[in-house]
Amino acid sequence: MVSRDVTIVNEVGLHARPATFFIQKANTFKASIWIEKEDRRVNAKSLLGVLSMGIVKGTAVTLIADGEDEAEALNGLEKLISSELND
């Protein structure tokens, strides 16, 4: 299991369209992936879970992955977040 702290930089946070891009990317990996904010953790492959977090621009979250491609998953998701969820 690996984890990484990231800060959401796009204007609307992880809502609607950006959340969909994030979830689609997360679903390309075999590893189990979670997103954690404060004391709450949700499945990063679940649209309802991610939207329920209320993640806005500037929010620091922790990405957690566990599985055979866990490092690749975190690298890919971090790259997507740093591109402002436009890829």
Sheet holding 60-66, edge to edge: 2-7, 60-66, 32-37, 40-43
Hey, which residues are catalytic here?
15
For residues 12 and 30, the answer to whether their CB atoms sit within 8 Å is no
Contacts of 45 (CB under 8 A, 6+ apart): 23, 26, 27, 33
